[in-house]
Structure 1
């Protein structure tokens, strides 16, 4: 840090005192600045007050001493001098007396007061149905920065909670929400939500590396509404308001909230398969005519609430015997499958995974992945009854992107 003068160096010493007191206040998480906690001092040594010892010119040291006297006269600190070096010739120790006066002179705030205010802010927006914030409050009480957000930047997490609450309310009826419209309405800034994707992922329990579009999709927030692409028998019809439209080859797309269900062909659709990625969906759709009892649905990554609602309406309208999903073999892919499984369980269906067992489809892979990620993916599989995939991950701990696999239609 470049210090412009002896006065700047003195102010930095005062900040160092406040930081030392803050460590004591944050130590027990009570945020109570007792006399014992704030009675901290710094000896005038090169390690404790290095900014003082970096002042090479006599004039700069004099300026440091003059600035120090301002704090001392205000009874913010107590200054001890080395009596052997002459009157105020050599600084010996600086002791904190009143941190409020120190930060008042600096024009700053006390860290524990900032933390208390941050805790009050996030507690005010927390409510039933929103992510739990206890871990955030506990971190700020200890002076830590959950998700890299210190108490000084609490508005990032407070605003993120507001976004989640608003998105949940607006998507209750199964419609997607235009992201920038909501951002402008909440913050008078159309791009505010987009800069908070990492904080939203943290609150939603998603990995930090989750793509921002996947984070927004989970909340039903879309930059541009995405159509639901359906591929299946040509005599199968899509029910919309006021009529029914035959499926076209290789697929047909509608906005999810306009789809009321399907009218099956003479040959009933017995199998439904969702596909995570567009390239794999296109490959499957090219061959859809060969499987007349199969409906293929493009998932477009992480499904939005409107997609899930439309998908459930489709399942309700069919006499399907088995529901499959095909996606990436990685943590994100299994999390997407889990969301889909949770959604269709209300319709009485269990989700079966297709070509997501690395023991069957990724045996040629030599690149192994972090054990933590493999364990996370296998736990998801165990929780949802995908025992073969869980065992496959344990025996062949590799991930595989869906696009590397050739299309093979699912079978019972």
Structure 2
């Protein structure tokens, strides 16, 4: 059979070679243990061809691929001119060139190069790359999407620089237009931003608004919800909070007109609403963080804490999971800046009813322990390492 390049690749032959390339990718990734080859079952379509010309067209493609050093074609030993019974891979790169494709391993190498300058700032990218190497997608993305992950890193850096300049709230489309000359790009990057901010590829996806607010971005500005029989100073005067709660733009909350007995932050909305209905007449100032609090919310929190005596208890009540303790670690930093020590409220493993406990993967437990330690809660960190479960406030 001639080894000349066919004028046009036979469709059945192309599909067979593409299948071989996929097998090669799986073998290279360690997903498959068998050496890449097309056996008689994979060649059933070719064997079933009734037209001699169609068979010759198929065989011409395989002969050419063999002459290019990409594959090895095997015929029956007793019938060397008979139908092809097996095709083995010889060189994945040459096979990919014939098909106009790029091997998966090469695509991952290019992705590593694209993301190399961001690995130090975002170690989670190593987990992203490792997943891609194993042919696993991360938030529906693969190595061909590496450039967009790099843009997500750039978006985070831009937002942090804006917050450092005192710009704590920016319309997301304005920021996207300024940074990328594409007003909708940042919104399309939200799944990647979520992973980069959380530092974890395994967490459930957060709502878009929560991811954006962590960066100081918004589609629609969200007020800060607060409850308690507490007087708050605002731009137009000092007023007691309404019953059961008030929702105010964070930037307009300037300070306190009277000192609360203690301060409690709550991560989740339903829990906050229940607390507000039950305790709105108390002298405890309760603040809803809406998940990971925004830069504007954190600036408001600092202003409020700065006016309180350091003896005023400051608590946080959040989920007993990785996200909950990551939020706690950030709030602990804010409290420390204002001279306070953040204490946990109902966040010990023993506080969680057994019905709400879910077994947690080892890596999740490790990160929970890490964030609890960063919050200054070393005793709870040890308890989390022993308990090995997660639980949410709501549900």
TM range (shorter): 0.7 to 0.9
Distance 1:282 1:151, change over 3 A: closer
**For each residue in 1:50-78, what CA deviation from the matched residue of structure 2 results, as whole angstroms up to 9, or x when unmatched?**
45556343444333113324434656545
Give the TM-score normalised by structure 1. Answer: 0.73
2:327 to 336, 342, 363: 336
State the number of aligned residues: 373
2:355 counterpart residue number: 366
> Are the aligned partners of 2:129 and 2:143 in contact in 1 as well (CA < 8 Å)?
no
**For each residue in 1:270-329, what CA deviation from the matched residue of structure 2 results, as whole angstroms up to 9, or x when unmatched?**
41121223344344445656434x322222222112211221122112325211122344
Distance 1:101 1:7, change over 3 A: same
List runs of 5+ in structure 1 lacking aligned partners: 1-5, 28-39, 405-412
Distance 1:385 1:369, change over 3 A: same
Mapped pair 1:103 → 2:96: yes
2:303 counterpart residue number: 313
2:13 counterpart residue number: 10
SS in structure 1 of the partner of residue 293 of structure 2: coil
Give the TM-score normalised by structure 2. Answer: 0.76
Deviation of the 1:127 alpha carbon: 6.9
Deviates more, 1:312-321 or 1:98-107: 98-107
2:5 counterpart residue number: none
Deviation of the 1:97 alpha carbon: 6.0
Cα distance in 2 for partners of 1:76, 1:226 equals 59
> Are the aligned partners of 2:65 and 2:71 in contact in 1 as well (CA < 8 Å)?
yes
1:348 to 339, 343, 349: 339
1:246 to 234, 239, 243: 239
Distance 1:54 1:245, change over 3 A: farther
Distance 1:200 1:300, change over 3 A: same
Deviates more, 1:377-386 or 1:296-305: 377-386
Cα distance in 2 for partners of 1:256, 1:186 equals 25
Q: Residues 204-353 of structure 1: matches in 2 within 5 Å?
A: 204=197, 205-206=199-200, 207-212=202-207, 213-233=209-229, 236-240=231-235, 244-250=237-243, 251-259=245-253, 261-265=254-258, 268-286=259-277, 290-292=281-283, 294-320=284-310, 321-353=312-344
RMSD (CA atoms)? 3.9
1:409 counterpart residue number: none
SS in structure 2 of the partner of residue 85 of structure 1: coil
1:408 counterpart residue number: none
Q: Residues 401-412 of structure 1: matches in 2 within 5 Å?
A: 401=393
SS in structure 2 of the partner of residue 281 of structure 1: helix
1:199 to 177, 192, 201: 192
